[in-house]
Amino acid sequence: MLNTPQQKYIATLFIITILIFISAYFSISSGLFNMNIWDIIKTILRIDPNPDYDLVIFDFRLPRIVIALLVGIGLGIAGTVVQGITRNGLAEPGILGINAGAGTAIVIFMLIFQFQTAATGWLAIMMMPLFGLAGGLLAAFLIYTFAWKDGELDVSRLLLTGIAIGSAFGSLSLYLSLKMKATDFEMAAVWVSGSIYDANWIYISAMLPWLILFIPIIYKKAYLLDLFQLEETSVKSLGVSVQKEKSILLITSIGLVSACVAVSGSIGFVGLIAPHIAKRLVGIDHRYVLPVSGAIGALLVMFSDFIGKTVFAPAELAVGIVISIIGVPYFLYLLLKAKA
């Protein structure tokens, strides 16, 4: 019997972790080149290695699984932070336009340095999250500017402002993409839709430091996300520098989103769905919500990627499209629930 929140949190995280491993197994074993569990174990543990299995697992499937895991964790945690800062259950980096801002900056990067450089150059790939951070910060600044009213953030205007800013950046991304060569445009269009099919270990090296840097900062400030659910005057009375702490949390969450967008394109709705499910499972304490939200985000991206590459084989559907198919009805459900 799970009597305490901590016990419920541990049990929930354990079950989600098991589901992630199951999803990873299906992702690594299924495809045009099928493998059984013994083949996978022997290849990973280097027992009688087979060059064909090495190529499929280490060069194609394992990097894809790791990136899906990292992107899901980053987007799930970033979504929790954004919802906590704004006190709006409908807020999410993608819906608020932060994804679009980061994506537009990276499209500019691709246009300037050519997609081939961004796709193959180690230094260029390491720079992409920096461009994404600049674009995400610009989007956040514009959203805050237009949603600010009478000295405070008007949450009722935040969603509409975010959608408008996101649409503007999305249109700009499309316009810039049209300026590319035909081959680059095709690859950029796939990337913008949210895809991890071109995953590799360099992409993982590019985004991992950002997660290692920002996630501990966010978790250390988890208690502030609990306080921000109170009225702002009450939080200030406790000696919290509200605007400073919100700015720090916002910048760190944008950093996570930018790192994710740099390697996977704009994958929406993960930051919306994961925090809601996490709160239903473990309550509203953000010490528990943040890790569970990250785990749910990882499971969601991994499972959606598996669906996208197997259900429509030999064609492949981008993971961002699969998640949107799930996310749009869920967003409408939350919107109707909020109105009620």
Instruction: Show the domain range for 108.
Output: 5-339
Nearest to 295 by CA among 318, 278, 308: 278
Tokens at residue 211, please? 């997660």
Q: What is the pLDDT along the chain (340 residues), one digit of tens a residue?
A: 566 888 899 999 999 999 999 999 999 988 777 788 888 888 888 888 888 888 888 888 999 999 999 999 999 999 999 999 888 887 888 877 888 888 888 888 888 776 554 444 666 777 778 888 888 888 888 888 887 776 666 666 777 888 888 889 988 888 888 887 777 777 777 777 788 877 888 889 888 999 999 999 999 999 999 999 888 788 888 888 888 898 899 889 988 998 888 888 888 889 999 999 999 999 999 999 999 999 999 999 999 999 988 887 777 888 888 898 888 888 777 777 766 5
Say if CB 302 and CB 267 are below 8 A apart.
no
Q: For residues 166 and 96, is the Cβ–Cβ distance under 8 A?
A: yes
Please tell me the distance from the alpha carbon of residue 43 to that of residue 23, in angstroms, as a whole number.
Answer: 19
Q: What is the DSSP letter of 61?
A: I
pTM reported for the whole predicted model: 0.90
pLDDT at 216: 96
The whole-angstrom separation of Cα 144 and Cα 146 is: 6
Specify the number of domains making up the chain.
1
Give me the pLDDT at residue 24, please: 93
Residue 14's pLDDT is: 95
Cβ contact 196:68 at 8 Å: yes
Q: What CATH number is attached to the domain comprising 131?
A: 1.10.3470.10
Angle at 255 between CA 249 and CA 259, to 5 degrees: 150
| SS3 (DSSP) at 284 | coil
Asked if 166 and 103 count as a contact pair (C-beta separation under 8 A), the reply is: no
CA angle 287, 293, 297 (to 5 degrees): 155
- Given this model, what pLDDT does residue 340 score? 54
